[in-house]
């Protein structure tokens, strides 16, 4: 939406259908959990998704004019680090510093850096609406991994497979557009 309204990005009908089908598939994945919207947490995450979408459109435009992915990542990480350091400093004395804590923090660091590198690379190579729609497949991967490896049963297997099929169909449409 931001890419289209502010930067004149065009989406084909096939691409719009792909984004819509990915969204429908993700809705089907969690349709039995609509009561969660009575809490604050999904609304906060929805606000985060809106910021992410706007940021992705802006980053894609910046990368088109300044194609230095690692320079932009460094600038972004520095801003995030400086902004969040103020909040983190007050909690440091209360944090149990064990080897498990360091391992978890390092794992989170690697996952976030990898995610951001590949997201910025994707945004430099393709239209931001398509890149973000494909990135939303992470929700599907989380559900499938949770079902298979962690034995989470928040949805039935047929519902999971149906939603997965919709998301994959949407991504195929995006790829073809």
Q: pLDDT tens for residues 60-95?
A: 888 888 888 888 888 787 777 777 777 777 777 788
pLDDT of residue 152: 75
- What's the per-residue H, E or C state across the chain? CHHHHHHCCCCCHHHHHHHHHHHHHHHHHCHHHHHHHHCCHHHHHHHHHHHHHHHHHHHHHHHHHCCCHHHHHHHHHHHHHHHHHHHHHHHHHHCCCCHHHHHHHHHHHHHHHHHHHHHHHHHHHCCHHHHHHHHCHHHHHHHHHHHHCCCCCCCCHHHHHHHHHHHHHHHHHHHHC
Average pLDDT over residues 2-24: 73
The rounded mean pLDDT for the chain is 78
């Amino acid at each position: 939406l931001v890419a289209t309204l502010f930067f004149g990005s065009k989406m084909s009908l096939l691409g719009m259908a792909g984004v819509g089908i990915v969204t429908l598939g993700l809705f089907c994945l969690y349709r039995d959990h609509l009561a969660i919207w009575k809490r604050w947490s999904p609304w906060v995450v929805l606000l985060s998704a809106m910021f992410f979408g706007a940021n992705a459109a802006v980053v894609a435009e910046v990368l088109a004019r300044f194609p230095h992915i690692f320079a932009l990542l460094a600038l972004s990480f520095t801003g995030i680090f400086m902004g969040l350091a103020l909040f983190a400093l007050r909690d440091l004395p209360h944090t149990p510093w064990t080897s498990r804590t360091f391992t978890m923090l390092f794992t989170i660091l690697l996952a976030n850096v990898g995610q951001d590198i590949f997201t910025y690379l994707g945004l430099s190579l393709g239209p931001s609406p398509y890149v973000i729609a494909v990135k939303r497949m992470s929700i599907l991967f989380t559900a499938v991994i949770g079902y298979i490896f962690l034995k989470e049963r928040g949805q039935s297997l047929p519902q999971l497979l149906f939603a997965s099929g919709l998301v994959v169909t949407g991504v195929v449409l995006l790829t073809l557009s």
